Structure 1
Amino acid sequence: MLKICRITLTVTLASLLFSFASHAIWYESSGQAVIHNGNKQQARQQATQEAIKQALLFAGASISTIQHLTNGLLSDDSIEIRSSGEVDNIELIDEVYDGDILTVSIRADIFPQKIECRAADYQKSIVTTWYPIKHRQQATVGNLFDFGQYVAVNFQQEFNQHAKNSHLYKVEPYYLNLQNGEPVVVELAHKTNAQFVLLAEISELSTIQNASNRLAFWQSPTASRDFSLTMAVYDGNTGDQVFKKIQGITSIWEFDTHESLDPSSSRLWRSEFGKQVTSLLQNLTNEIDDVLSCLPAFGRVLYVSNDQININLGQQDGLREGDQLTLFQMSQFFDTRGKLHQQYQLHPELVTVTQLFTNTATVTSVSGAPLANIQANDFVARR
């Protein structure tokens, strides 16, 4: 059996995060293989096949077609990988010989499928904070200056009740603004061991006094209240935004406009206004859960002890003993036009889960080979 010495994968962050879009995505990857008995054609085919397979599995996609490569020295080869997507085109970028080691670099144009994704087997962990009120003077009616705290808590309850592919496991007890940016997002995710960070802002909480009906002059004037929530979800490893939406409601405000309310009270949340806010939170839950379902399931390396690695994924994330994961390191670079890219370098050895705990796990090499060059804050991903 041909031994693959090293697989190196380079993709843009946008390609990785949106690998299930309806359009094709370009992936560049390179693989090394040993040439046995001078059989360069076999080594070339196997190295190319392994590079494509690793790139697809890492990105959460997969393929099912047989492709005949018509680029340079690959013209007589074919590759078959049975899974659930389609490779539209493969281009040969480079082919380098160094003794009995062959390195093939390719670029593949891939149409992933939406209906299946292996990453959906794992729960995505989310952390959030309290939600600030953009125009605080609007909270004067009802004395709801702390309303953002309880919207966040109620959203956590709704999310964990209705979401299927992710869980909002923590609400940090302080406010963060949507404009805080990448460094704060990454720091919060790292501190709480979350894969995604959800930030939100109550962008509207205004009240409108409605005029009473002249034909029913004995009735008291009624009021209505607007509520809008701006919500964004970020990848905790990179700080990149993966979801953003503004959603709002207008509801009857059945309380006296001079009355102070407890923002956590069932009286408020069982009112028509409270019910509509809850419905809005449920809608956002479904949308966010759908977006996150097929994104890669990333975890961090917490520490390395001999040939065992402890990671921050566990039972609550859907991990099971025997699951196989890919180790990788991530770096950033700017191209000649100043555009920032993410680069992922996969470790040649797969790891398997040998011990499982609530929110951590111990993994070891599948082949038993030493796990060289792995350190804390490197990453693991679901294959």
Structure 2
Amino acid sequence: MMKMFNCITLLVLLLTCPNAFAVWQQGEATVKLDGADVSDVRVTAIKNAVADASFKNGSFVSAEDVVLDGLLVSSKSVITTQGQIQRVEVLSESVNEDIFSVIVRVDFSPMFNCPHDGYNRSVLLTQFQVLKPQQASYGGIFDIGKQISKRIEQQLRAEQTSPMVRLIDKAFTGVDSYDQIHLNELTNKAIYMSKEYGRQFVMFGFIRDISLFEQVKEELLSDDVSLRRNFTIQVYVLDVYRHTIIFQESYHSEADWEYSDDYNVDTNNSLFWRSDYGRTVLNTVNGAVSDVANKLQCEQSFAQIVGTNNNKLIINMGLDNGLKLGDKFLLYKKRLPVSANGLSNAALVAVDRGVYKVVQLDSLTAELSNDDPAQVINGDLLDLVSSTR
């Protein structure tokens, strides 16, 4: 019997240097069931298919914690590499005569092409709502927004850049206002969230389209019509401290909808997520999450001052973010210039008060000390610090 692997390591000989641009490579594998559980065999088959794609691309792969769809996460395998593999998509899988077959598509892209401080970004994830709830009535997928939000959270946590994610059961704003996010509303929400949640980034958005349509099959001498369903998701990332939307993108896909008119789909069932439509939705979400994770990694990270202790600053970053004793930070003050349209994006100004070093820390917070203790009082609550790396 084959067993589920919690950690899978593949070593493939490094033959060539990774390309600076995305290179999609297809891989495939077959594994004999031989009485084993399909879920166990599936993990091994996908692992082998990723290895196959890696050989074809000539890359070194170190794959850990393969996370899949169904009862786990999604149809994406989470790969820890030297930066070559960005995402893995399962294109197809089948069982025929006791043989499990799978085809995957692997994106060999550099994870990021920017300087970064090595700290894990803190992200608040709000609920993704369906923009037109009536579209969910076909199939009864009214909870698709909650399901997508949960899978975004799981995928973000599993990213190589390891963002610290918290999912809340609230939407960023009403679905009617997503088409026009006003500057004043954005600024007010950013100020509120910086005080309430203490996270630098907020990921939010909505599911814009899950409508159905008919498509004529392209085979010659055939007038068969297949029922297909759209999936379009709009994704935003807000830098709370700077009151700026740093990422805004729409992702679209479509796939066959294999369910009858009167069938209510159970979105908690792994069978749905392994269907053509479910797998396509997950692949679309995976692509969005990978793009967001890469964008976050390239953004300058800040921490808030949440208190003082014996002339030391206490910030809301700690061991979980990757901080270490001796790490150095600069103090920043926030300026909110007023424009004709109200408050504009926050300007962060570095304050010449010397360098602050981490002298004590726990999982969520750290204490910073300045060489001149008299200067520390210049750091007020909710002021910011950023690494000097």
Gaps of 5+ in 2: 1-111
2:268 alignment counterpart: 264
| 1:272 CA displacement | 1.3
Q: How does 1:127-142 map to 2 (within 5 A)?
A: 127-142=124-139
Structure 1 SS opposite 2:169: strand
Tell whether 2:150 aligns with 1:153. yes
Question: Using CA pairs below 8 Å that are at least 6 residues apart, which structure has the higher relative contact order?
Answer: 1
Tell whether the 8 Å contact from 1:207 to 1:224 is kept in structure 2 after alignment.
yes
Structure 2 SS opposite 1:193: coil
Structure 1 SS opposite 2:292: helix
Identify the match of residue 208 of structure 1 among 210, 213, 217: 213
Tell whether the 8 Å contact from 2:212 to 2:230 is kept in structure 1 after alignment.
yes
String of CA shifts for 1:320-348, please: whole Å, max 9, x gaps.
11101111211122479999462514141
| 1:188 CA displacement | 2.5
Tell whether 2:169 aligns with 1:173. yes
Tell me how far apart the structure 1 counterparts of residues 244 and 295 of structure 2 sit (CA, whole Å): 14
TM-score (norm 2): 0.62
1:373 alignment counterpart: 378
Tell whether the 8 Å contact from 1:299 to 1:379 is kept in structure 2 after alignment.
yes
Tell me how far apart the structure 2 counterparts of residues 255 and 168 of structure 1 sit (CA, whole Å): 37
Tell me how far apart the structure 2 counterparts of residues 377 and 247 of structure 1 sit (CA, whole Å): 35
1:197 alignment counterpart: 202
Tell me how far apart the structure 1 counterparts of residues 203 and 320 of structure 2 sit (CA, whole Å): 19
Tell whether 2:168 aligns with 1:162. no
| 1:224 CA displacement | 0.7
Structure 2 SS opposite 1:263: coil
In the alignment of these two chains, the number of paired residues is 266
Tell whether the 8 Å contact from 2:159 to 2:293 is kept in structure 1 after alignment.
no
Distance 1:162 1:137, change over 3 A: same
Identify the match of residue 328 of structure 1 among 326, 332, 335: 332
Structure 1 SS opposite 2:376: coil
Tell me how far apart the structure 2 counterparts of residues 338 and 378 of structure 1 sit (CA, whole Å): 22
Structure 2 SS opposite 1:243: strand
Tell whether the 8 Å contact from 2:187 to 2:344 is kept in structure 1 after alignment.
no
Tell whether 2:359 aligns with 1:359. no
Structure 2 SS opposite 1:289: helix
Amino acid paired to 1:172: I
Tell me how far apart the structure 1 counterparts of residues 385 and 259 of structure 2 sit (CA, whole Å): 52
Structure 1 SS opposite 2:355: strand
Tell me how far apart the structure 1 counterparts of residues 120 and 242 of structure 2 sit (CA, whole Å): 19
Amino acid paired to 1:280: T
Structure 2 SS opposite 1:260: coil
Tell me how far apart the structure 1 counterparts of residues 299 and 191 of structure 2 sit (CA, whole Å): 17
Amino acid paired to 2:165: Y
Distance 1:280 1:189, change over 3 A: farther
Backbone CA RMSD of aligned residues? 2.7
| 1:372 CA displacement | 2.6
Gaps of 5+ in 1: 1-113
| 1:314 CA displacement | 1.1
String of CA shifts for 1:279-324, please: whole Å, max 9, x gaps.
1112112211222212211010001123122110112211111101
2:7 alignment counterpart: none
Tell me how far apart the structure 1 counterparts of residues 366 and 212 of structure 2 sit (CA, whole Å): 50
Provide the identity percentage. Answer: 20
Greater Rg by CA:
1
Tell me how far apart the structure 1 counterparts of residues 190 and 327 of structure 2 sit (CA, whole Å): 29
Tell me how far apart the structure 2 counterparts of residues 185 and 171 of structure 1 sit (CA, whole Å): 16
Distance 1:333 1:209, change over 3 A: same
Amino acid paired to 1:174: K
Tell me how far apart the structure 1 counterparts of residues 256 and 305 of structure 2 sit (CA, whole Å): 50
2:188 alignment counterpart: 183
Q: How does 1:9-158 map to 2 (within 5 A)?
A: 115-119=113-117, 121-158=118-155
String of CA shifts for 1:13-45, please: whole Å, max 9, x gaps.
xxxxxxxxxxxxxxxxxxxxxxxxxxxxxxxxx
Tell me how far apart the structure 1 counterparts of residues 292 and 317 of structure 2 sit (CA, whole Å): 20
| 1:211 CA displacement | 6.2
Tell whether the 8 Å contact from 1:163 to 1:286 is kept in structure 2 after alignment.
no
